[in-house]
Structure 1
Amino acid sequence: MIRERPIVARCKSNPILTKEDVPYAVTTVHNAGVIKHQGRYIALFRSHLRTGRSVIGMAESLDGFSFKVHPEPFLVPADRGLFAEYEEYGVEDLRISPIDNRFLLTYSAYSRHGVRIALARTVDFKTVERLALITPADLRNVVIFPKTFGGRYVRLDRPHSEISPWSIWISYSPDLVHWGDSRVIMKPAQYHWDEMKIGPG
């Protein structure tokens, strides 16, 4: 007799992070990017303040199950310059990519102009440097590969337009700022649970 083993087992103490764990006033906690750094797990999660504006919070854990949230958000909408215009409504859904002794951070920048993907970096999860806005409006879920291929950076993303289904695309860049050679690499499957849209992460 063949015994099946589950591929994924849910943690019995779920949810491991809720809005009650956050020491500042928020209404939600979700969509965390997690990475292990210097022996501890770092979770960068999306929350909404009571004003409705979104921020990125940070929590740390030694075992990956019990997290302690930092007293202040890790990333808040910019208050000056170009980023301020495109982060007017908030910053959301951060992804983490370790590459070249640093961590690249991609996140959704929300404003009256729509949603764009912003790129930032950190080396210590204490300070963050914003680098560039790397997409036009209505692209989401950008994930950068943790290595270069043929001297170029590679990313996956999901354009979000009025035409569906929404698929996963691949793009290339020599410098992380200018991207091109874009094409579809995966499409939703018709008549399945994901027939409307899929994303890379």
Structure 2
Amino acid sequence: MTDQKKKYDLILDSLQKLLENKKLQTISVSEIAQTAGIGKGSIYYYFPSKDAILEALVERNYEKPLTTAKSLSSQTEIPPFTRMAMIFQACRNASTEYLKSGEKSGVGAPEKALLHQKYMNHLISEFKPVLAEIIQQAIEAGEIHFDKPEVLAEIVLIVLTVKMDNTIIPSTKENIEETIEGLVALLEKGTDNPPGSLNFLMA
């Protein structure tokens, strides 16, 4: 690991540590620098603002499933629907990791809510172009009949993240499964695929 990478991670670690006992609005860039044991000027070398540090912290915590998802979009030797299923699984894994980390952290409710909002936004915005590209490839292959891949990708991701996250609209396991099944059924109908043909997407 390079010195720059070490310092970058140290800054993120410091903000995460401070969030365990303080509200975000009371944390200053100077305090983050002090906790990290570096000069305030060094912070601005890596980040333009405190908000940028928070964004990077959210991204780092869930980068593994996102990196996996991004790498799939270019692997055209894998059928589009198989890649879509892998994207959905990566989305599910990211949600699971977020919920686990939230249970373990000592972050207060307001900060947890803010981090949660940032997380949801990050998850959807990062997955959307990847999923849209795969859908576009499926359209070109004649496997999906839909002329707006980005719209379809966004609809799917909003439903998936809200239901799998299960904090915005708390639901029973049965209700979540019913919603996901309904999503798959709509996907089948909207893309001219026979009923039951896309059930494996949510396996």
Q: TM-score, normalised by structure 1?
A: 0.26
More helix by share: 2
More strand by share: 1
Bigger CA radius of gyration: 2
Q: Which has the higher contact order (CA 8 A, sep 6+)?
A: 2
